[in-house]
Homo-oligomer: A and B are copies of this chain.
Amino acid sequence: MNDLVLTENEALMEHPIVRQVVTQLRALDSYGTYDTWPDYKVLDPMILTKERRREIPVVGDPDEIVISRLKAYYNSIAAGIERECELMAVPFVNLSHEGFGKALILVGRLVAVNKTLRDVHRFGFDSLPDMVADMEKIVGQAVDLIKAHREVAEL
């Protein structure tokens, strides 16, 4: 894991949703490990190339760090939803010890996001563009749902 995948001049580093992920990762870094790291190094473990994935066992318990990445990801999606619909979006991540569970984002009385989690110890994305595309898709679907049921989202 010493070789970084991302570089200093990553094109998507200034994308708002990527900025948000970096902010969330830094917020969840309770030991201050990232304090002296540049953004691209903080973000780097979110990217699981084929080589990196191969090094992770198929079955395993998610550790604290991978759980904080998962939370940073859903917190950022919630922030993206808030920005677009101007309603509070509350993320919940419910995990069992084996890395299975649910990620929810609630807006008022509406379940704007409802994702089944599995193999959380292997959480990550093939590339940064993949991560951005994934997040934008989830935000977009949530915003559409909120538009269709605005009265429930405002409860």
Count this chain's copies in the assembly.
Answer: 2
Asked if A110 CB lies within 8 Å of chain B CBs, one says yes
Question: Are B109 and A149 touching (Cβ within 8 A)?
Answer: yes
Cross-chain contact of A94 among B92, B110, B145 (Cβ < 8 A): B92
Interface size for A (C-beta < 8 A) is: 14
Task: List B contacts of A110 (CB < 8 A).
Answer: 109-111, 152
17 additional contacts (CB under 8 A) given A109-B111, A109-B114? A92-B92, A92-B94, A92-B104, A94-B94, A104-B104, A104-B106, A106-B111, A106-B114, A108-B111, A109-B110, A109-B145, A109-B152, A110-B111, A111-B111, A149-B151, A149-B152, A152-B152
Which residues of A does B touch, CB under 8 Å?
92, 94, 102, 104, 106, 108-111, 114, 145, 149, 151-152
